[in-house]
Structure 1
């Protein structure tokens, strides 16, 4: 009986992990962030991605404070944000940011910086040398204020 219960628990864990998704509406959740997520946190991140793509500015602070595990996982969260900006357009994202208060956007510039620096935006396996000052001129100015 104990063995059946153990096997059932292992099967349930494997099933839940297999329900996780690495991509939502064209936004890639990079490996380090993805592997440290359970099913529920993966679902939460995918929902935040979709809300942000739907131009719900209240999803941005939730995205900024999303538990990324530190280090490379947070770089991957920055990569998610930069992909969103490219997809919806810098001007649209900037308009969303303008509707938030300073506390809600604290840390956003840092996440964007590392997302640009460490993200594989060309999907070629190589990290680019992108900078917020060159890629997102309008947003950079908004976030410096």
Structure 2
């Protein structure tokens, strides 16, 4: 596929319905995980212009920073710490309307106001998370959860 994206304006659902097939085309047939994660976050950042979007992968009992788009980020996160660590520990998507009100929030940037973190679960085990931050309060909802879960379910984390 050509590396140009077709960016769609309009409501959130229309934007997801446009970007998902483009992400799928970008990663189809590419076996390299890092390349696929990088193109996935680049496409999401370009379409939605979120403050930060990226992956953390579980390595040696920590979440370790993986491909992302946005300002520099925390490199390692312990299980249960912050929104990412809590999502990992609970194996559940967390939508945080105001990160300042989340107990133990890790402030990698003071500009982040709301967040959604989705666990990547393979064979019953959390192997990473997709983390998305916004500069706006209450930016994420169940629509984001539904479509972001669809995106991460399409990623191949097999060796």
Q: Which has the larger radius of gyration?
A: 1
Q: Which has the higher helix share?
A: 1
TM-score (structure 2 length as normaliser): 0.29
Q: Which has the higher strand share?
A: 2
